[in-house]
């Protein structure tokens, strides 16, 4: 079962210097473990929402807007595509992600026919 794991954080969150120093290596360790277990198929960190562009087409016209599609406090800061046996495994994997301690991880199962 494939899940899109959206890594969500409040961009205003200030990490302590120790936390900030930790987050990189801790994330690398998580990626290494999940790659080894064949769970993480792919993933990436994303640029801040100030770099987002939102596109829609209305009445045949392409509308282009600066910023994210939804103005929310928490924004998507990255994603990982997970291949897990079931939701319990996906929950275990998400709970191990270092961002879970200050941000939120949303698990969205892939649409299947």
Partner 1 sequence: MSQDGGAVGQDGGAAVAEAFRQEWGRVVAALIGMTGDWDLAEECAQDAFAQALKTWPRDGVPRRPGAWLTTVARNRALDRIRRRATETARLRETAALSIPDDPGLDDDESGIPDDRLRLIFTCCHPALALEARVALTLRTLAGLTTAEIARAFMVSEETMAKRLVRAKHKIRDARIPYRVPPAHLLPDRTAGVLGVLYLLFNEGYSASAGTDLVRQGLCAEAIRLARALSQLMPDEPEALGLLALMFLHDARRATRVDDAGDLVRLEDQDRARWDAAEIGEGTVILDAALRRGRPGPYQVQAAIAACHATAATAADTDWTEITALYGQLARMVPSPVVELNRAVAVAMADGPAAGLALVEALDASGALRGYHLLPATRADLLLRLGRRAEATASFREALGLAGTDSERRFLTRRLADLES
What residues line the site for partner 1 (CB under 8 A)? 1, 3, 85-88, 91, 107, 109, 112
Distance of alpha carbon 109 from alpha carbon 111, whole angstroms:
6
Residue 3 beta carbon to partner 1: minimum distance, rounded to whole angstroms:
8
Residue 77 beta carbon to partner 1: minimum distance, rounded to whole angstroms:
22
74 or 89: CB nearest partner 1 = 89
Name the DSSP class of 21.
H
Find the radius of gyration of the CA atoms of the chain.
16
Q: Residue 67, by phi and psi: left (phi above 0), alpha (psi -120 to 50) or beta?
A: left
Dihedral of CA atoms 54, 83, 44, 92 in degrees, nearest 10, equals: 100
1 or 20: CB nearest partner 1 = 1
Residue 106 beta carbon to partner 1: minimum distance, rounded to whole angstroms:
11
3 or 30: CB nearest partner 1 = 3
Residue 86 beta carbon to partner 1: minimum distance, rounded to whole angstroms:
4
Instruction: Outline where the chain has alpha helix (H).
Output: 17-36, 87-96
7 or 82: CB nearest partner 1 = 82
């Amino acid at each position: 079962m494939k899940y899109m794991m959206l890594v969500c954080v409040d961009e205003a969150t200030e990490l302590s210097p120790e936390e900030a120093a930790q987050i990189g290596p801790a994330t690398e360790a998580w990626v290494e473990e999940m790659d080894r277990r064949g769970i993480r198929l792919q993933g990436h960190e994303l640029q801040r929402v100030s770099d987002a562009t939102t596109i829609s087409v209305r009445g045949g016209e392409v509308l282009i807007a600066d910023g994210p599609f939804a103005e929310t406090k928490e924004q998507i800061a990255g994603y990982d595509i997970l291949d897990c046996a079931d939701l319990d495994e996906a929950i275990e994997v998400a709970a191990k992600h270092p961002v879970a301690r200050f941000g939120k991880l949303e698990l969205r199962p892939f649409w299947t026919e």
